[in-house]
Structure 1
């Protein structure tokens, strides 16, 4: 079975979701980051996976549910940290971030089902901003990520091209929006499934006239 890797930062005010400030305060932005991470972990735990591993910058807190393995992020750029996350796996792995709290076990199902790796070497989830929100590899190869420029409008295109250049058969997951700005937060909250912490917190923090 597949391992789900979630790469995240400890939700500390002033260190996470800084582009949400303003209009949100640093404390509110950190609360939104915690809610997004909690919803992402819940979705992963609801999926049929081998393990859920949180690759964390910082320390775990009371927001961490039972059943999640925690490992520290390595030093270096984001490409090195993603590569190291895959390097720690011995079988198929799907990596997602904490920026898409609208993710559900159903959205992840194609990459985690019993036939996910039949005639398939990689799964790719593009993001609206040009990046990617999910990357799955049947055989973790860290070199597929090292050197890919991260956090640019071309990141997703370049990462997918790297997979194809390696001769991998790539299947796509749906396009999702990352939460980077307050506008993103509002749009993602509308897409999130009922009962999630992120959407409820966005609703509580956003003035009625601004929704």
Structure 2
């Protein structure tokens, strides 16, 4: 299999700044605690997929105590996110990863459905496709995989809207790149997402201990 580099985009789950759309339902502290559990699960699944290096592109900088105390971080390569919107940050991460000579899978931390098996499946698809996408039910995507770089996939996109995946598909078509898509996955952004999370991932709602 062609070498694969997993890139995880993440920010420190600080109360009041993490999962802000869940604060009305959970409160600032519990919303941040959920963000922390989602992040740790994402890293654990990326490492468990055993596809190659795992990069954390994070904010604030890697010198922050949160990252230095995170056991999983010791098995990952840490990078500071560049300034700019999500597109600029993903673009820089993708360009850096692809420059290492491997394909990349770029993911966030909001989608517990994106487990090691799913990551392996998407990596396999890059053996025969130029790109891959894991769309989510709200119109965005949980993962984009690339064999090569194009700035057009990350610029002038209305992030956090239902147009993200459709626009990305249009951009991939314009590039004439083949794309494999997974089934629709579910992320955790809104209060109505919590019922499904409790049903399928109760450990993320009520962690042991």
Q: Return the TM-score normalized by structure 1.
A: 0.87
What aligned pairs does 1:124-143 form with structure 2 within 5 A after superposition? Answer: 124-143=133-152
For residues 91 and 172 of structure 2, the distance between their equivalents in structure 1, rounded to whole angstroms, comes to 13
Which of 144, 157, 166 lines up with 2:153 in the alignment? 144
Q: CA deviation at 1:191?
A: 3.1
What aligned pairs does 1:49-64 form with structure 2 within 5 A after superposition? Answer: 49-58=51-60, 59=64, 60-64=67-71
Whether the 8 Å contact between 1:120 and 1:170 is mirrored in structure 2 is yes
User: Are the structure 2 counterparts of residues 64 and 184 from structure 1 closer, same or farther at C-alpha, using a change threshold of 3 Å?
Assistant: farther
Whether the 8 Å contact between 2:139 and 2:166 is mirrored in structure 1 is yes
Which of 175, 200, 207 lines up with 1:191 in the alignment? 200
Count of paired positions? 197
Q: Return the TM-score normalized by structure 2.
A: 0.87
Q: Determine which structure has the larger helix proportion and give its number.
A: 2
For residues 152 and 138 of structure 2, the distance between their equivalents in structure 1, rounded to whole angstroms, comes to 24
Tell me which residue corresponds to 1:155. 164
List structure 1 runs of 4+ shifted beyond 6 angstroms.
none
Which of 92, 96, 103 lines up with 2:114 in the alignment? 103
Whether the 8 Å contact between 2:55 and 2:76 is mirrored in structure 1 is yes
Aligned-CA RMSD value: 1.8
Q: Deviations over 1:71-125 (max 9, x none)?
A: 1111111111111110111220011101012321111122223xx3333100011
